[in-house]
Amino acid sequence: MSEKLQKILARAGHGSRREMEAWIAAGRVSVDGEIASLGDRIEADAKVRIDGRQVSLKSADEVICRVLAYHKPEGEICSRKDPEGRPTVFDRLPRTRDSRWVAVGRLDINTSGLLLFTSDGELANRLMHPSNEVEREYAVRTFGEVSDLVVQKLRTGVMLEDGPAQFDQIKSAGGEGINQWWHVALHEGRNREVRRLWEAVEVQVSRLIRVRYGMIELPKTLPRGGWMELPLEQVNYLRQLAGLEPETRSMLGMDKHSVARAKVRSAKVRRAVRKQKTTQGKPTQQ
């Protein structure tokens, strides 16, 4: 049975459905030698090319939905390439065959913490849709005094340039002197919303870390710059949020040899992160 071209490309991991629609509209995709149009439906045996390069098409049964949790450091941008040469969140991810990782949302360059990636562009597209209001939790370090009145305003709502906004939850998490930590949660995904809420009450944010996405928490053992593959249970939790059928397979093996290999990979990630930090801290040789 034929399916929409952008849906098939997204499911196969070539990008989110929104990205695929933009590529089709720009004339970058062809089907059987003809430039594709938005809304085209194709059969499984069609020959599809992106920028002249033939790409693989997979049926729903052939695709294994994978999700990575990545501990984004500050200083990385959420783009595949940067004209200024800055590091991106895709630089350290594992390579995939005939597909690519799609980020579920974004974190700005000065924000660190939990960022999810999936091989299923349709899953990413649905999770990022405004109608799918997944709660996100952040640890926030503020600079300066924060009064009870300010906290109350953030709970009840303040006016931003794109409309009213508020935190679903806000609670103190300690701190010293004028540096205080807070945990805040909200279900909207507007651009820089957490920082803009604090700025609206004239409070400066000195650090911002995403610690939770829905029920997926940032693993405490995951170093900055490290990634881990989510188990099937958590993958299906996300698929349920997105209104998709559950996945039945996983790339994570449950036998003792697979567990051992996973531990080796985890150790390699930590060593690579430590090595990079050490290299970055050394003075440049003249």
108 is catalytic: yes
User: Which residue from 173, 49, 67, 48 is spatially nearest to 118, judged by alpha carbons?
Assistant: 67
Q: Which of 82, 91, 98, 108 does the annotation list as catalytic?
A: 108
CB atoms under 10 Å from CB of 218, counted, come to: 20
Active site members: 108
